[in-house]
Homo-oligomer: A and B are copies of this chain.
Amino acid sequence: MPNHVMQNQTISESELYGFLGKYGIKTPACKSVGLNEKITFDAFPAVIKIQSPKVVHKSDVGGVILNLTSNEELEEARKTIIANLKRHNITLDDNDGFIVTQMVFGEELYIGSVEDSTFGNVILFGKGGIYLELYKDVCYIESNAREDEIRRALATTKIAKLFDGFRGFDYKIEWVINLVKSVQKMLQDNEIKELDINPLKLTKDGLVAVDARILKGKSEYTEIQREKKRPDFLKNERVVIVGVSTGKGKTGYTIAKNAQSFKGELLYVNAKGGELFGRKLYKSVSEISGNIDTAVIVVGAKFVIPTIHELIKKQLKNLIIITAGFKESGHDAEEEEIGRLATEHNFNVIGPNCLGFYANEERLNITFGTGVVHDGKHAFVSQSGAVLASLMDRAAELGLGFSHLISVGNAVDLRSAEIIPMLNNAKSCESIALYLEGVARGKSLCESIRNCNKPIYLFKAAKSEAAKKAAFSHTGNLSGNYAMFNGIMQSLGVKVVNTLDSLLFAPLFKDVRTIAVITNAGGPGTVLTDAIAARNKELYELSEAQKKELDSVLPPMWSHNNPIDVIGDALPDRYENVLKIMDTFSNLDLIYLLITPQDMTDALGTVKILKQYVFKHKVVPILLGGENVKDAREYCLKEGILYFTSIAQACEFLG
């Protein structure tokens, strides 16, 4: 028999039903009657149960009778129960009674809530009964979710298909949405740590909570928001680098070198003074006159806090601490002090122990990477310096650019939750990529994403238990339940990607719906078609007129369909002719140029076409093979033509 718990105390079914009813949640009809009170009930079939402190395991002593279809049968059942109990030597008195409950039939669903350390209250909905555990067909909804988030979350479950006219059933998805909203209200009004409505029965008249368990208790989830409005970290006019070095190869040298292109005013500080790159080296921050809005710290760890104090006098708004040697080395107190100062004096901090910051529009490059950063409209925020460094390096090689690069390092202050709204306001940024390991302040992260109208691509590391352990050892951050994290991000419309490379590539292909394939072989064309279909993208349909047009430049054996198989003996001119014709087709978002090494294939000559002409459509070569396509690969790299060497890789980022 179910256990109805509220505030750690068992409460009666009718009290629980009353509580749920207050929030508009339907429960079975239910009535308590005295031991000898006449039963009048009207919601059949019904079940009658003895209610007595003397009877713990009701079923074992014949204290429950199911499937009663009339008040007469109820009366009869009452007598039977009394007789059953007598046989078990249980004598009832006036304090005892019966409870009569409507039996509800229907599919078993589930709704509940938990208090998560990352996200606070989170609502779960899905298939109930034993299948909750077996199929884990559940979605996760942050407790402040808006209706569009609820709908998106529900759409990730298979059980939601029952509400989609499945087999002609007339179940309404609005029932679930309203139920979720009721639970949201309940969580707002009450301190509820756990709620379990299982089963929640799906009937033709709506959802009915048959059984529930509620654990009340004070929330342990807290998020302290800074009271004052933060300055915009992305606005930098007067930047000082403290700890500039004249020693080539040193971090303080490379950063000073990279920063030179800054459009605003750039100042260098080095305790010894002198000059670097034609710029004066101030001996200290205090030597500089006027305010400083942005400072970069590259000095030794023990000089960081004294430097910050000097900077505070200059009305510091933004601070970038490259210097390592804080929390990650056991110096927690110093790191906390930095956080305290930032809050007290209302400035932003990224770091300590970070790779820096890059903003394309202002030409502000505060990173110690040695490679070039291309112009772009894509921002990348990373919790790992090494992930950022390797993707920057890969992007540089492939000619992909960025609007902003932000390495949050130990993240004493700024995290994605604070950075997303700033990027959302930045005109130069059109899409945002996030690399996350641990997540703190999950509710404000959700709120930031909710209010962001730019596409967000997210890779979450530390999904598995083994990786959580590894991440903890290098960041000290604990990662929560990945299924929940992923579910909530999906509900927020975030594109959760499964490979690091997708953080670079997915934004480039965000508007791709319809794809054409030009191939010199049928087999690989089929494999590519599968990969495109697996990503729910459409194959462009050639019209009869278009086929005719292609007939004029293709041998008669061509496939007459997309994939456009130009046949194994295709030389560059045939690819070129087909490309020129296809470039005139509209409603086409992407053309894959699939090249496999065959008898006469000239892969290099074929990719060269992409530099000889400017195509309206995005054309991406896929170069299968090895030695025979090597020169084509090298040409693409040199010329900044984005290409792939495997079909899987070429499609993995298609949203």
Contact = CB atoms under 8 A, between A and B. Distances in A.
B523 A435 contact: yes
A167 B130 contact: yes
A218 interface: no
Nearest to A520: B386
Interface stretch (A229-237, A498-506, A608-616): A498-506
A461 B523 contact: yes
A647 B524 CA distance: 24
Contacts of A596: 386-387, 389-390
Contacts of A648: 498-501, 652
Contact of A529 (B67, B382, B396, B467): B467
A254 to B, nearest CB: 9
A524 B386 contact: yes
B158 A462 contact: no
29 contacts: A133-B167, A134-B161, A134-B166, A329-B557, A368-B599, A371-B628, A385-B521, A385-B523, A385-B598, A387-B521, A393-B627, A394-B625, A397-B626, A461-B527, A462-B530, A464-B533, A464-B534, A465-B533, A466-B532, A467-B529, A467-B533, A469-B561, A470-B559, A470-B561, A473-B559, A473-B565, A499-B647, A500-B527, A646-B649
A146 B470 CA distance: 43
A539 interface: yes
A33 interface: no
- Which of A251, A368, A521, A523 gathers most chain B CB within 10 Å? A523
Contacts of A475: 522
Nearest to A382: B523
Contacts of A167: 130, 133
Interface of A: 67, 107, 130-131, 133-135, 137, 158-159, 161-162, 166-167, 251, 329, 368, 370-371, 382-387, 389-390, 393-398, 435, 437, 459, 461-467, 469-471, 473-475, 498-501, 520-527, 529-530, 532-534, 539, 557, 559-561, 563, 565, 568, 596-599, 624-630, 646-649, 652
A622 to B, nearest CB: 10
Each complex incorporates copies of this chain amounting to 2
A530 B463 contact: yes
A529 B393 contact: no
A542 to B, nearest CB: 12
Interface-central residue, A386, A471, A499, A501, by most chain B CB under 10 Å? A386
A309 B629 CA distance: 41
A649 B395 CA distance: 18
B565 A523 contact: no
Contact of A471 (B393, B522, B568, B598): B522
Contact of A530 (B159, B162, B393, B461): B461
